[in-house]
Structure 1
Amino acid sequence: MVAKVLVVLTSQDKIPANGHPTGWFLPEFAHPWEVLHKKVDLTIVSPNGGEAPLDPGSVKMFESDPVSINFLKEQEDLWKNTHKLSDFLSRVNEFDAIFYVGGHGPMYDLHYDHASLALIQAFSAAKKPVSAVCHGPTVFIKAVAKSGQPLLSNAVVTGFSNIEEDQSGMTSVMPYMLEDELNRVTGGRYVNADQPWSEKVVVSRTVDGATLITGQNPASAVGVGKEILKALGV
């Protein structure tokens, strides 16, 4: 049987502090999709269902990246017609892994979303891989195991770094800093690449013993996709 992966996109289309457009980040969906789609079945969901907002800044930033641009031109249906995330709470047994695409959007909706947290907790409890890239790992911060422990307790993780946020000019409008929160919830086990914007992918374990895959930034998106395949034995 072909492995099935649930892919989660944000529904947040604005930065509340300044009203600027946001959403999910183009290469962080395009590159994992390129790695995954011929080997696993992908189902795309978002909190609101329907069209999941694509961060227009990511389109501009990656206009010279052939994978991103081909994806943008040819796969629009994937994010224009997402399923509603909460409809999948009773369907965890149908899937083999869950993957969260980054972008600033998840910092505002998926970080707090109860259905998303319940899904993550169910996947982890079932020992199914949970994964995210860039700002995506924010989705794990509030997740807890049945024991009440944070799901990331003692896990090694990565995600968008403070220096990368500073260099993006976004620190002043962030509700919290992802690196700081990941450090807090893991007990200081956040790690990042030697150089900002370089690839860093970390494979660790949740409290439940599920495989936990995190990538630091857009450059880590391919590596996260490859680690998902490895975790699935594909």
Structure 2
Amino acid sequence: MTSVLIVVTGSDHWTLNDGTLHPTGFWAEELLSPLSVFRDAGIPFTIATPGGVRPTVDETSLAPESTGGAEESARQRAALDAIDDQLAAPVKLEDVSADDYAAIYIPGGHGPMEDLAVSPVLGKLLITMLDAGKVVGSVCHGPAALLSATKPDGEWAFAGRVMSGFTNDEERQAGLADKAPWLLEDRLRAAGADLKVGPAWGPFSVVDGTVVTGQNPQSSTEVAEKIVAQLKK
């Protein structure tokens, strides 16, 4: 059966360049919107985290100013409550077999910059799934996780791929660029990504083969829709 593995950051912070810990986690919309798309398409999903830890939602992502208002903020909190059983007991990433899934999706938030970007376990899984022609999707800061996919010869598995991700301009507007130990746009370009971006905070996503990536939270729904389209091929 077609199934999607959703790998969520297990980190509740991002270490800034002065050593302070910036509270973060996963971005609510980037998990919830794709889940809704997958459900509507009848595609089952499994949530996994490093070590099977309960993931932390970035509270900023649930603030009314982030969601577009108090009503949407309350709706997203209720949607998180509805999947609390899965969030409370995610599968251990270390126990995952690529054979069990047709796709992998990684939501953002700054958490992936802390743990998934340097996870050898995730890197190996991504390489296996990519080589098997399975769908790899991610959005916003989630593509930081793809940086973990370094082959034994040192080559990045996604080198040369067209992709998108959170931009330097958006990071500056969000107020963290000057404090960031590294910027996702810079790191993806340096690693060899053919990075494409649209206007700040507007929906933008790209597909390269079985790789689907989006620029920002506003892109999460269309990323999920493009993953579903890939799975239906």
Q: Same fold (TM over 0.5)?
A: yes
> Within the alignment, does 1:200 sit opposite 2:204 as a pair?
yes
Greater helix content: 2
2:116 to 96, 103, 110: 110
Is 1:191–2:196 an aligned residue pair?
Answer: yes
1:48-67 matches, within 5 Å, as 48-60=51-63, 61-62=66-67, 63-65=70-72
- 1:141-169 per-residue CA deviation (whole Å, 9 max, x = no partner) reads 24135775322221111000001100111
Q: Helix, strand or coil for the counterpart of 2:105?
A: strand
Unaligned runs of 5+ in 2: none
Amino acid at match of 1:26: A
Amino acid at match of 1:139: A
CA distance in 2 between partners of 1:174 and 1:80 (Å): 30
How far apart are the structure 2 equivalents of 1:148 and 1:16? 25
- Paired residue total: 224
Q: Aligned pair 1:71/2:79, yes or no?
A: yes
Q: Compute the displacement of 1:22 (Å).
A: 0.6
- 1:5-24 pair list within 5 angstroms: 5-17=4-16, 18-24=20-26
Counterparts of 2:72 and 2:215, CA distance in 1: 19
> Which portions of structure 1, spanning 4 or more consecutive aligned residues, are displaced by more than 6 angstroms?
none
Q: How does 1:121-200 map to 2 (within 5 A)?
A: 121-145=127-151, 148-186=154-192, 189-193=194-198, 195-200=199-204
User: What residue is the counterpart of 2:50 in the other structure?
Assistant: 47
Which of residues 116, 119, 126 in structure 2 aligns to 1:120?
126
Aligned to 1:220: 219
Q: Is the 8 A contact 2:177 2:183 kept in 1?
A: yes
Give the 3-state SS of the residue equivalent to 2:51 in structure 1.
coil
Aligned 8 A contact 1:23 1:53 in 2 = yes
2:116 aligns to what SS in structure 1?
A: coil
Cα distance in 2, alignment partners of residues 42 and 53 from structure 1: 19
**Shift in Å, 1:59:** 1.2
What RMSD, in angstroms, separates the aligned Cα atoms of the two structures? Answer: 1.8
The answer on 1:83 being equivalent to 2:91 is yes
Contact between 2:122 and 2:149, CA under 8 Å: does it hold in 1? no
8 A Cα contact 1:4 1:40, kept in partner: yes
Percent pairwise identity: 31
Distance across 2 between alignment mates of 1:124 and 1:229: 16
Letter paired with 2:48 = V
Match for residue 208 of structure 1? none
Q: Which runs of 5+ in 1 are unaligned?
A: 206-210
Task: Say if 1:49 and 1:85, in contact at 8 Å, map to a contact too.
Answer: yes
Deviations 1:38-86 (A, max 9, x none): 4111010001213111111111122442753441232222322211101
TM-score (norm 1): 0.90
Output the TM-score relative to the length of structure 2: 0.90
Q: Greater CA deviation, 177-186 or 127-136?
A: 177-186
Shift of 1:186: 2.4
- Secondary structure of residue in 2 paired with 1:52: coil
Letter matched to residue 213 of structure 1: V
Deviation at 1:139, TM superposition (A): 1.2
